[in-house]
Every structure is written in C-alpha cells, then in structure tokens.
C-alpha cells in the first residue's frame, strides 16, 4: 500500500494505542497524544496542494477483493483535498478544544477512540474511488457518530439522540448501497472514475432513476435534509467538541460530498436538478424558520446548520445544469457550484467557532438557555467577539466571508430563472423568493442569539454557576483561529479561489470545460448596486424589524412550540415499530424448536415453489433412470418405517435407538452408492450422537404424551409432506435438466482441480477447507464469538443493583 493508504488508515491505527496511553499516562490529558494525529495528517495533505492546483490528480491502488471488483483505490483531486483539509484541520482544532473542555475524570479513552474512528472513516469516504469501500467507511461514520453522541450514556437524551441518528443515517446508507448496486449493474464497475466515463449511456437506462433516488437517500439522510433533518437537533446531546466537529464541518458534509461526487454521473437531468434543488430549498427554509423558535444555544445552531446545508444542497442542484450547457457561458451556469464550494468552506469556519463558543458559554454559566442568559458582553469579551464574527458571517453581513457566499447564492438563484430548461419558468421563479425569505429568518435568529446572550441585563440568579468569567485561553484558541479565518476569507477571498475552489469545481464538473481551461473564480466585495445587494439590504431591514417587534409575535404558538412536528412523526413511528416487532417476536420466538422448524420449512417450500412456477422449472420424467434393485426397496422400506415409528415412541431410550438406526441406514445407502467418505462420516457422527444421547437421557424421566389438537397434527403433516415432495421434485427436476441440456456438474471442476489448486486428494475436505473456505471461516468466527460470550458471562460480576 502507498503512503496515502497509510495516511487514510492512520487514525484507525492510532485508536489502538489510545486505551494504553489513557491507562499509563493518567496525569496527562489523552488529547495531547491524539492531537498529533490530525495535525500530522493536515501537514501531509498540504503537500498535495501544488498538485491539485495545477489540475492533476493522485490515484493510488491496492487490491482487496479483485474477483468482486472491490479494491482499496484512493483518488485525490481538488474536492477530496478540500474535504481532507476540513477533516484534519478542523479535527486538530476540535481536539485541542476538547483537551480543555473535557475533564480528565471523563472516560477519555472512549472519546478519543471514537473520534479517531470517525476521522479515519471520513477520510476513507472522501478518498475512496470504489463505491463499496466508500460504503464501508460511510457506515463506520454512522456507528462512530452514534457512539460519540451517546458518550454521556447516563443521560436519556444522549441515548435517544444516538439511536435516532443511527436509525436515520443507517437507513440512508443501506438505500445508498442499493443505489450503488444498481450503478454496478448499469456500468459493470464500482469505480467512480470508470462510471463517469460511461455517463452518456446511463441516462436512458431503466435503472437510472431508481439508482439516483437511492443514492440521494444516502446523501439526504447524512446531511440532514428535509424531512430527515430531525436527527441533527437530537445529536446536540453530544459533548460540544463532537457537535463542532461532526455536525458543522465533517459528518453532515458527507452527504454534500456524495451529491457533489455523483453529479458527473447524474447531473444534467431534470430529475437530479429538481429533486436536489427542491429538497435543498425546503430544508433551507424549514431550518431557518425552526431556528427562530429555539431557546437553547446548540438547538439554534443545529437548525441553522440544517438550513445552511439545505442552501449548499440547493446550489449543487442548480449547478448541475452545467452538464446540460457544456458549451455555454461559464459564469452563468457554474456560479451555483462556486457558491456551494465557497459556502461549504465558510460554513465550516463560522459554524465551528459558534459551536465552540456555545460550549464555552455552557461551560462557564452552566446553561445554554437564552432566556436565562444576557449581559455576558462585559464578562466574556473574547467569547462575545468571536461569536459576533461568526454570527455576522452566518447572517451574511460584510465584510465577513458569509456575505460573499450569500451574494453568490442570490446570484445563482436569480440566474436559474433564466435557464429556460426543465420547465424552470414555472416553479423555478420561486427559488430566489424562498431563498430571500430564508435569509431573513437567518438574519433574525443570528440577531436573537447574539442580543439575548451577550447584551441586556446580566441575571446571575438564573444561572447554575453564579461566578461567571471569561473562559481560559485554552478554550479560546480554537474558536479564535476559526474566527480569524472568517475575517481573512472575507477580506481576501481569492486566497481560496484558484488553490481550493477552482480545483474542486473541476472535480465536480469534469468535462464541462475544454481541456486546459479554468473556471472563473474571481470573488470580490463590490459589484455595484446589483439586485443581489438590494436583496441583502431587504434582509437586514425586514430582519431587524422582526426582531424589534419580537415582543408581539413571540407570544404566538409558532414561537412557543420548540418541538419540530417531524419529531412526533418519528416518535410515533418508532413506538409503533417497537410494538409491532414485539407482537411478531412473540409469534416467532416461542421457545419451541418445532415452531422454528415450522417457520423455516414453510418459507423454504413457498420460496422454491414460487421459483418453480416463475421459471417453469418442473421437469418430472423417469426415463433413463437405472432400475431399482430389490434390496434397495427393502432398505428404503426399513428407512421409511423407522422414520414413521419415531413420533409414536414414548420412551426416550427407544427413540434414541430408532433415530440412530435411521442414521445407520442412511450410511448404508451412502456405501451402496459408492460414497465411502460420506458413509464413514455418517457412521462416526451417528455412533457418537447415540452414545452421548443415551448417557444424557438415561437419567431423565420418560417422555410424556403431549396433548395435541387435530389442527396441530394436520399442520405438521401437511408441512412434512410438502417438504418431502419439494426435495423429491427438486432432485428429479435437476436430474432431468442435467440430461436435457448436457449440463456439466460442478463436481467435475472440484475433481479436476482439488489437487492442482488446493493440493489435496480428498475432494470433500478440499471443498470444505479451500473452495468453500469462507463458510468454514465464518463458522469458526461464530464459534469463537460464542466462546468469548461464554467467557465474558462467566467472568462478569453482577452487582446487586444491576440487571442480569
């Protein structure tokens, strides 16, 4: 494997050592050791900046399961590099912040193991070229995220938030896997690069739309798009470093990354354009309106994150038309993608700093309720300054970076109304209107958050911590750095233009420009008195008016009800799922082995019967069958008689002997049909089984006659006859099929290759150990897992207050 592979796996490898460091260096905060990992990775990925800036890419290959088309291939282009900077750069600041935020009395080993797992998984997601490898890392992000959200597992809201996050994102992940599978059926490859090269023939494929919607489900759920957004506010039960890392800069951006990466495959179609744009606009508006209703600092930031993610998503949808107008005006059709990338960077900076300042306020005052806060400006001047910069950027005020990307957002929305495709002249005219309304609410909740928290009268009597003071310098370093970046990127936006933004645009829109051309990414503050500027002025005026009249409209139920209505939908659905699953479980898990066999046999009979009918596979014909010798009739009669006798025996020992006799008769049949190895195996198994059963059951009482209803007996009889007929019909049909089609049995392959490929003459053993080695390996894994479970139960010491 290459250095890039090891860099991707570095967080996983580092996570192995965290428990040892935590155990043996208790006096040193474990975060100091972990801090080295993201910092080194950030420096390493910086070395690729000159490569991607010139339009080049890095491709590193490592074979994994080549027979299935699954290889650990890494692809680093402008977009991948941008996300690695977010993952490692923000990760470094978050871990530095967590060192001062989390006490050494916490279970830091768990926290840093989880966060390293998440970091490694995110790197795998943004660097993987193979969709199956991407999916594996994708689900690791879901699991590690849930573990981080439930870090304070003693709190009910932490468990609730983690479960909700897991259910929704894993549902999306499984849907996405289905979409990836359909893409494989269409293209014959799991490589994203190779799929992009076949896009011309995909649009007319019958599986195109199902694959697209399934992939989008993965992106929408991960990026908290409407109506899957409800998991993100619940995730605020996590420690603030987790919220600052996962829910502002990385995990929620994974869905954005997926949509951007899939744009070359699905872009340029009406379905992709309308689906992403509409979902994004609705999410933008719903999140901004919902944020106004919240009273908790992190809840306001959570809904604002939902809104901002919707904004980026809608821009990706609008920008996808660049594939429809490949030879059109560069700036007109690509401004949306430019705005999406720029705001993605800006959002990571200002939202990361805001989450950290919210954590500082909670840390120093003991509450995040804006109704209890106020007057913190003089007590916490540094926190106030950093928060003001972040909120002003999010509200879209100059000269901060959020103002520039918001102006580009308005421009993209206005441009969209002029495209003249996909019937955009109908509902598309609402895009700039809805965007403008959402921006008003964005300005409003930013104003509410700042004024309610930092201005007004200080109310120490409402605070759990009475002596409020500025946070220690350690907590301020990370949000201050992000705040400085907000200002720097606002004043000098073109630092990013051709170093990060243009290469990322080229990665999202490959083939849109002719070879050697670049996208126009010059960003400036002043373009004259444009319509976009008037829209911004209107946002400020109306947003300020709404804030000044807040006493009037805040009495309405709209403002008082903080709970999102979709949370109730989730709760009702979850409760119904639990109740129905309990009913079904009680029906299935009866504790009786015969019931389990009944279910399995019924399912198998129905499935195979459907297959026979569906493919007209019945082929019952007895010509060409060798004659049956008289002694075989005797042997079969004895076998049938023994089987029929067993249900009527009431004595355990007799039942064991007759059951053993059935096994011995079967081994005799194996001998007659020249299968001595099977016969020997059957003899050994039956002998050992009979002896063991006799030793065990000798001391048990005789079998008691159970009272069985007629319906119970009739059901068992029908299932037994059905299973017997099914096996017989399948055997005869397979025999006839092999004769009619000159079918070559797979046994010939095993006989010819057992010595050549596996080095063994015993074909049965070679099949079990080599040709079907995965089966044996999984059986060993199951046995090993059971053994570990037994050992854990034996060693587990249950206290009186704990449940067994």
Helix (H, G, I), strand (E, B) or coil at 710: helix
Task: Return the domain boundaries, the chain.
Answer: 148-562, 592-744, 745-804
Query: Is residue 81 within 8 Å of residue 503, measured between CB atoms?
Result: yes
**What's the pLDDT score for residue 803?**
45
> CA-CA distance, 717 to 482, in Å (whole number)?
73
Spatial neighbors of 567 by CB under 8 A, at least 6 apart, are: 230, 234
pLDDT of 117 reads 96
Are 151 and 242 in contact by the 8 Å Cβ rule? The answer is yes
Q: Could you give the C-alpha distances from 753 to 380, 396, 675, 757, 769, in angstroms and in order? A: 77, 70, 19, 5, 14
pLDDT value at residue 804: 41
Measured CA angle at 726 (ends 723, 727), to 5 deg: 90
Question: Which element (helix H / strand E) includes 208?
Answer: helix 208-222
Query: What is the C-alpha to C-alpha distance for residues 16 and 25, in angstroms, rounded to an integer?
Result: 15
- Residue-wise pLDDT tens digits, 245-278: 988 778 899 999 999 999 999 988 999 999 999 9
C-beta atoms surrounding 791 within 10 Å: 10
Identify the pLDDT of residue 466: 79
Q: Tell me how far apart the alpha carbons of residues 36 and 13 are, in angstroms, rounded to a whole number.
A: 13
Which residues have CB under 8 Å from 184's CB, separation 6+? 69, 131, 190
Burial of 743 (0-12, 13-18, 19+ CB in 10 A): exposed
pTM of the model: 0.84
Q: What is the pLDDT at residue 548?
A: 94
Which of these, 335, 321, 341, 245, lies nearest to 277 by C-alpha position? 321
CA-nearest of 346, 279, 339 to 312 is 339
Which DSSP helix (H) or strand (E) runs through 354? helix 330-365
CA atoms within 13 A on the CB side of 77: 20
Three-class SS state of 444: helix
Phi, psi dihedral angles at 63 (to 5 degrees)? -70, 140
Q: Which SS3 state, helix, strand or coil, does residue 429 take?
A: coil
* Cα separation, 319 vs 315, whole angstroms: 6
Cα three-residue angle 298-300-304, rounded to 5 degrees:
115
Cα(17)–Cα(109) distance, integer angstroms: 10
Contacts of 734 (CB under 8 A, 6+ apart): none
Q: Which residue ranges in the chain fall short of pLDDT 50?
A: 800-804
Residues in the chain, total: 804
Residue 743: per-residue pLDDT: 67
d(CA 499, CA 494): 9
Q: Which residues pair with 130 in a beta bridge?
A: 191
Dist CA 247 CA 356 (whole Å): 12
Concatenated DSSP letters for 74-109? EEE-HHHHHHHHIIIIIHHHHHHHHHHHS-TTS-HH
Asked if residues 353 and 386 have their Cβ atoms less than 8 Å apart, the reply is yes
Q: Which helix (H) or strand (E) holds 541?
A: helix 531-548
| Greatest pairwise CA separation for the chain in angstroms | 105
Q: Are 211 and 265 in contact (CB under 8 A)?
A: no
Count of helix runs (H) and strand runs (E) in the chain: 36, 4
């Amino acid at each position: 494997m290459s250095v890039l592979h090891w860099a991707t796996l570095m967080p996983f490898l580092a996570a192995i050592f965290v428990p040892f460091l935590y155990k043996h260096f208790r006096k040193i905060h474990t975060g100091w050791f972990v801090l080295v990992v993201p910092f080194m990775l950030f420096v390493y990925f910086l070395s690729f900046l000159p490569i991607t800036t010139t339009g080049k890419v890095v491709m590193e290959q490592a074979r994994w399961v080549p027979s299935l088309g699954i290889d650990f291939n890494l692809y680093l282009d402008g977009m991948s590099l941008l996300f690695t900077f977010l993952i490692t750069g923000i990760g470094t600041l978050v871990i530095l912040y967590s060192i001062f935020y989390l006490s050494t009395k916490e279970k830091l080993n768990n926290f840093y193991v989880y966060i390293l797992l998440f970091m490694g998984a995110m790197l795998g997601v943004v660097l993987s070229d193979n969709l199956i490898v991407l999916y594996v890392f994708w689900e690791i992000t879901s699991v590690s995220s849930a573990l981080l959200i439930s870090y304070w597992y003693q709190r009910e809201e932490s468990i609730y938030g983690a479960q909700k996050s897991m259910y929704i994102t894993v549902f999306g992940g499984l849907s996405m896997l289905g979409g990836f599978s359909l893409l494989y059926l269409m293209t014959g490859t799991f490589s994203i690069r190779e799929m992009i090269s076949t896009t011309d023939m995909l649009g007319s494929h019958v599986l195109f739309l199902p694959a697209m919607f399934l992939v989008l489900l993965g992106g929408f759920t991960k990026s908290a798009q409407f109506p899957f957004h409800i998991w993100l506010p619940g995730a605020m039960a996590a420690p603030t470093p987790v919220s600052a890392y996962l829910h502002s800069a990385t995990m929620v951006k994974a869905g954005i990354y997926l949509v951007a990466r899939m744009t070359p495959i699905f872009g340029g179609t009406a379905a992709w354009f309308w689906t992403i744009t509409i979902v994004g606009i609705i999410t933008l508006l719903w999140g901004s309106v919902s944020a106004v209703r919240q009273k908790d600092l992190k809840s306001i930031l959570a809904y604002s994150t939902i809104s901002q993610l919707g904004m980026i998503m809608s821009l990706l949808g609008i920008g996808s038309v660049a594939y429809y107008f490949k030879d059109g005006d560069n700036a007109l059709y690509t401004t949306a993608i430019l705005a999406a990338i720029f705001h993605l960077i800006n959002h990571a900076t200002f939202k990361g700093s805001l989450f950290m300042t919210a954590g500082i306020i909670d840390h120093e005052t003991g509450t995040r309720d804006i109704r209890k806060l106020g007057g913190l400006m003089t007590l916490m001047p540094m926190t106030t300054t950093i928060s003001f910069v972040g909120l002003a950027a999010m509200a879209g005020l100059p000269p901060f970076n959020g103002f520039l990307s918001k102006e580009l957002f308005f421009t993209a929305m206005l441009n969209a109304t002029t495209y003249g495709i996909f019937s955009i002249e109908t509902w598309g005219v609402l895009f700039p209107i809805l965007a403008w309304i959402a921006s008003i609410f964005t300005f409003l909740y930013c104003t509410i958050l700042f004024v309610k928290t930092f201005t007004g009268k200080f109310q120490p009597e409402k605070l759990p911590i009475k002596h409020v003071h500025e946070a220690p310098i350690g907590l301020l370093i990370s949000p201050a750095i992000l705040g400085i970046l907000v200002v720097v990127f606002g004043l000098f936006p073109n630092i990013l233009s051709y170093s990060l933004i243009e290469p990322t645009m080229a990665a999202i829109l490959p083939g849109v420009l002719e070879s050697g051309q670049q996208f126009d990414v010059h960003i400036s503050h002043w373009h004259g008195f444009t319509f976009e500027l008037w829209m911004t002025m209107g946002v400020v005026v109306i947003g300020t008016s709404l804030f000044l009249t807040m006493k009037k409209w805040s009495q309405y139920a709209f403002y008082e009800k903080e709970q999102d209505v979709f949370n109730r939908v989730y709760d009702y659905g979850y409760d119904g799922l639990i109740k129905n699953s309990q009913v079904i479980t009680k029906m299935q898990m009866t504790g009786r082995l015969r019931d389990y066999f009944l279910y399995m046999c019924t399912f198998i009979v129905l499935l195979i019967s459907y297959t026979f009918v569906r493919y007209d596979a019945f082929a019952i014909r007895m010509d060409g069958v060798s004659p049956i010798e008289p002694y075989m009739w005797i042997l079969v009669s004895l076998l049938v008689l023994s089987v029929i006798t067993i249900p009527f025996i009431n004595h355990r020992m007799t039942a064991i002997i007759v059951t053993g006799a059935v096994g011995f008769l079967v081994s005799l049949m194996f001998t007659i049909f020249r299968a001595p190895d099977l016969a020997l195996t059957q003899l050994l198994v039956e002998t050992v089984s009979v002896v063991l059963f006799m030793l065990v059951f000798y001391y048990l009482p005789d079998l008691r006659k159970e009272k069985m209803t007629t319906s119970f007996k009739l059901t068992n009889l029908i299932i037994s006859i059905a299973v017997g007929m099914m096996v017989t019909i399948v055997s005869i049909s397979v025999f006839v099929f092999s004769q009619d089609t000159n079918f070559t049995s797979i046994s010939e392959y095993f006989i010819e290759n057992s010595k050549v490929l596996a080095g063994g003459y015993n074909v049965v053993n070679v099949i079990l150990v080599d040709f079907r080695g995965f089966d044996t390996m999984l059986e060993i894994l199951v046995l090993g897992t059971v053994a570990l479970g037994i050992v854990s139960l034996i060693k587990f010491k249950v206290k009186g207050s704990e449940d067994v």
